[in-house]
Amino acid sequence: MSEDCRKLSSLNRERNILITTLGYTKDHLNTEYYCCNSNRDEVSFCTGISSSEAGAKYILSEHLIDEIVVLGPSEAAGLHNDADRYLGDFNLNTCTDIKDSTEYDFLCYRLSQYLNKLDIEANDIIFYASKEKREMLGNMMRRELMRGRDGFFYEASTNPIAYNKFKSVAAKLSDNREVRWLKHMMYMNMDSALKMRPLKGNSDVTIRFVSIEKDAKGYFAVDDMVNIVDSLTDNGKSEVNIHIDLRGMDKADSYMMWSMLSMVNSADVRFGIKTVIHTRTVEEGFLHSIDDEIRRYDVEILLAGMQAFVNYGKVEMLDEYCRSHDIKDKSVLNLLNAMKYVDTGVSLCNTNDLTYGIQALKRIFNNFDPMKLGDNDSALFVILKKGIQKDYGALLESENMSIPELIGWALRKHFYQQALTMIESLVPADMVSRGIYYYAKDKHDIDLALENWNINYWNEIPRCRYAFNDPDHYFIKSYGRNVINNRQSKENISRDFAKARVAQLHGEYSELCNAYSSIDDTDMLYEMFFAYYEIGNLRNIVSHALTSEHALNNQEEMQENNSFDQLENAIAKFLRIYRAGCAKAEAVKSHPMIITSTILSAYTFNHRLRPLNSTPDNFLLEDSYNCQYNGQDISISIRMLKPDDSID
């Protein structure tokens, strides 16, 4: 290899690695024949004394490779197991006695021949016999075998009639060496375009041996697998493309290797599986096979990505799958984008993104037309669609987003932090809209609520006025806390506040606006409010991660962490009560009037008040405020306090 080529290779940010295993070769002189149907539906053939040799030849004929990594037991490599070799520079005289060479040396010897367009062992087959014997066998081949358009070998490998003729001719031969000669001459006479040839750029490929042992169950040892992954990452390249021959690997071994490679993916180095083949030996067969298994691997990766989204809301694997397969169909990409909203919603506890993503999924599924997709894209879409529909269930079936169903979905998937956020942020508006607990039946109630909340708004310190951005949330979570004693335990505060909300229904607090409920069971309403306020306390504890409670002690065993159990029990308790309340409210079907954030914001902007000491003596003339509700213009009468232009 030239020094310039080596420098150029070292500067390349991308590295292509072929991984294969070292098998046991029974006879270093016995040439076998292999066939592969490539992903371009083209048939190609090669010779090989070992299956690992044949698999490597196929990959070297299809892809540019920088390095071959050979896995095997340490005794199979002999003394040369710790050095990289340039196969193109390999000294063929190293294997002076190929019968006694190590398996690794022999593989290097055979692959070096391939790169130099040689096949010394095959030539030995041709010239074993006398000239007269060779002429006799050649005449028999031409006279009794079917040649076909592409030669005797191709015909016998693809046509059962031609193969049977070969077997009948072979049965007439008394010496097995004559059968080997006949078969190899058939191969030699085959169209050369059907034979594997190494790509020109692979003349500089290196080969390296990595020792790996198998455990008692026949699997690769985990420690050795870790060493393999470490060796693949230690090359300073940002992109590493893996081409792998599964021959000699258990399915679990290949999955473990890929899982480990996926785990070490980072911003500095990325791994990608580009080729997956399995070289198989067919006993007593005319040909052995090199099977392209990238499609099966792709399906398994697709299903793993689907599982990652269904179980954890993560979409990276599916996103990478679509990128690597250059999928550009609009329906599939829209589906992927909707899934990304779900991903960010779950990951960041962003309820807006989560609900938007789920609603987008529902709309995309409803508009799905399989006739507009290609076969592959349609199959991908259907796989994703069925998996998501099965998991999301009622969330994709109802016309409107069901908050109880959404919380139940998060709880079932153990998205505890997300479930807490949903309860805290989405339940208040849901309670009001369902009529479980609300503030207005008519225009008069709207007037009273706006007047009361306006006073509270201007008496609140400016940095805390964000609570009024969502009127329903403010009404359920915060409104009226001033009527209870807030200097007590959080649990007692929650209990007292829940009692106050029930008492507000009966007008016990004249300083508060009206309150209504379509639930006549006040005990249920109390339990619902208490569970809701306790969820808020629990969410604060989780969000602020009170690490002082988890100081490590000098103990032989770690104490069991039951935080998840506490979260699950608290969320499940609230959800059980809330679902029962929703059912009761649904039976009554109240029609609450709603104050939107726009109405409240405009009202507070146009009716500034002096903070504190706001007494009836400050009231001026009645004023009216025009707004829209449910598409209708309404006029709201308000008693205004004396404006203060100095207030910002």
- Say how far apart CA 336 and CA 316 lie, in whole Å: 10
Write the pLDDT tens digit of every residue in 266-286: 556 677 788 888 888 887 788
From 103-112, 427-436, 508-517, the region with the lowest mean pLDDT: 103-112
- H or E element that contains 495: helix 490-504
Write the pLDDT tens digit of every residue in 210-221: 888 777 666 666
DSSP for 228-248? HHHHHHTT--SEEEEEEE-TT
Helices (H), 278-437: 294-312, 316-324, 330-347, 351-366, 375-392, 403-412, 416-434
- Average pLDDT over every residue of 102-129: 85
Give the pLDDT confidence score for residue 628 in this predicted structure: 47
- Average pLDDT over every residue of 475-495: 90
Give the pLDDT confidence score for residue 202 in this predicted structure: 92
- pLDDT category at 30 given cuts 50, 70, 90 is confident
Residue 383 amino acid letter:
I
Place of tokens 């979570």: 477
Write the pLDDT tens digit of every residue in 215-263: 766 666 666 777 777 777 666 667 888 898 877 676 666 666 666 666 6
Give the pLDDT confidence score for residue 81 in this predicted structure: 54
pTM of the predicted model as reported, rounded to 2 decimal places: 0.67
Give the pLDDT confidence score for residue 480 in this predicted structure: 93
Q: What are phi and psi of 410, to 5 degrees?
A: -65, -40
Give the pLDDT confidence score for residue 371 in this predicted structure: 66
Task: Encode 77-113: b = buried (16+ Cβ within 10 Å), e = exposed.
Answer: beeebeeebbbbebeeeebeebeebbbbbbbbbbbbb
User: Which two tokens mark 70?
Assistant: 């050979």
Give the pLDDT confidence score for residue 37 in this predicted structure: 79
Task: Kindly report the average pLDDT of the chain as a whole number.
Answer: 82
CA distances from 351 to 340, 345, 398, 418 (A): 13, 6, 18, 8
Write the pLDDT tens digit of every residue in 281-326: 887 788 999 988 887 777 777 888 888 888 888 998 888 888 877 8
- Say how far apart CA 610 and CA 482 lie, in whole Å: 19
| Burial label, 165 (beta-carbon count in 10 A; 0-12, 13-18, 19+) | middle
> What count of residues does the chain have?
648
- Average pLDDT over every residue of 381-400: 84
Write the pLDDT tens digit of every residue in 497-556: 999 999 999 999 999 999 999 999 999 999 999 999 999 888 777 666 544 455 555 555
Give the pLDDT confidence score for residue 618 in this predicted structure: 45
- Say how far apart CA 475 and CA 446 lie, in whole Å: 13
- Average pLDDT over every residue of 73-100: 66
Give the pLDDT confidence score for residue 236 in this predicted structure: 61
- Say how far apart CA 508 and CA 528 lie, in whole Å: 20
From 113-122, 456-465, 538-547, 574-583, the region with the lowest mean pLDDT: 538-547
